[in-house]
Amino acid sequence: MWGLIRRQGIQFWINFMQRITEEDMFLGDFVDNNILRFCFVDMIQKTLDEIKQSWNNHRIRSYRNQLLTSGRPWMLHSAPAINRTRDYGVGVDRRDIEICAAEVHHKADIPCDRTVFDICILNIEEHKLSVPSNPDDMYELYKFLRRTVRAEI
């Protein structure tokens, strides 16, 4: 499974982030972390969502003498009876769900620290820039924002 995930896009991001580090464009401090998140979290999440979709919809082949059920993972999970397989769902006490819900940290509406986000948005608007949709152009925006934000603090 990890090989599949790497081939479907994660290896690209591993290499991409390594390149940023090797070019001394990432120090790992608060500012760099947040500008990096501002620029790339949505792109990386899109890659992860595509991998999830691909994995959940791929067909598990049937083999002779194999005990595993064939089919699509999402279907095996959602409707085990259709595939004549066991339902591995486990009942959960409502109180346990409430305890977990109280402790979960929901994803914020912005990908980074609010102040860094606001500064990045102001710089983009002030310089009449657009937010790129490809990693290389986003890297240029990252370098620009990194320069301007560091100059402002």
Residue 66, pLDDT score: 67
Alpha carbon distance 110, 121 (integer Å): 11
- Report the C-alpha gap between 128 and 117 in whole angstroms: 16
Give the model's pLDDT for residue 130: 95
> pLDDT at position 117, please?
96
pLDDT score for 4 = 66
**Closest C-alpha among 22, 30, 27, 28 to residue 119:** 30
* Series of mean pLDDT values for 10-residue runs along the chain (153 residues): 71 94 96 97 93 81 72 77 79 92 85 95 96 95 96 84
* Contact predicate 80/72, CB 8 Å: no
* Cβ burial, residue 148 (10 Å; 0-12/13-18/19+): middle
**Computed from CA positions of residues 4, 10, 15, 21, in that sequence, does the dihedral angle turn out positive or negative?**
negative
